[in-house]
Amino acid sequence: MENRKKYLAKVMFWLPSRCKKDIYLALEADIDEHLAAEEDRVGHELTPQEEELALRAFGVPPVVATRYSMELPLISSGLMTVYRRVLFIALAGVILAQIVLIIPDFIDAEAGKHGRLIVETGRRATWGFLLAFTSVTLVFSALTRIYSQWGKIR
């Protein structure tokens, strides 16, 4: 029973607090059923070692937590390929824009000021990367939710 408690606690650790209670009840019932089936199979009450083995066979706690959590992922697997491509294009666009912006300044800059220009461009590129990453991720996350709702409506 101690092993069972520990296992439940390990799974709960990986779950967001808002859905812990519901999942706990479901998981507890399923684990009890699994352990009872193991007892029926071996024909006696499980020893702590057998119980530990049976719980190990149930699954690795973080993986089990993911399986029980019915929350939507940030970006659905169906959109992942498109997301990666769009993200790549957006990041490449940031680099290209910074190169285009730096070339005339770099040519016109006085000697000794090139280093400062490169640092300034690097700073702008970093902000550009962050902005591109955030906006593309937010758009695809919204699309994931819209498609999921659409699937429910259909």
Partner 1 sequence: MAVLAAFRSERFGAEGLETLRSAGTEIEPGALYPMLRRLESQRLLSSDRRLDDGRLKRFYTTTARGVEVLGALKTEQDLLARSLIQLMR
| Residues 6 or more apart in contact with residue 24 via CB below 8 angstroms | 8, 12
Question: Does the footprint of partner 1 cover residue 63 (CB under 8 A)?
Answer: yes
Q: How is residue 149 annotated by DSSP?
A: H
Question: Does the footprint of partner 1 cover residue 3 (CB under 8 A)?
Answer: no
Question: Does the footprint of partner 1 cover residue 5 (CB under 8 A)?
Answer: no
CB of 68 to partner 1, least distance (A): 5
Question: Does the footprint of partner 1 cover residue 105 (CB under 8 A)?
Answer: no
Q: Which of 6, 13, 21, 33 binds partner 1 (CB under 8 A)?
A: 33
User: Which among 70, 59, 50 is positioned nearest to 31, based on CA atoms?
Assistant: 59
Question: Does the footprint of partner 1 cover residue 51 (CB under 8 A)?
Answer: no
Helices (H), the chain: 2-13, 17-42, 48-58, 61-68, 77-108, 114-153
Rule CB under 8 A: which residues touch partner 1?
Answer: 26, 29-30, 32-34, 36-37, 40, 57-60, 63-64, 67-68, 70
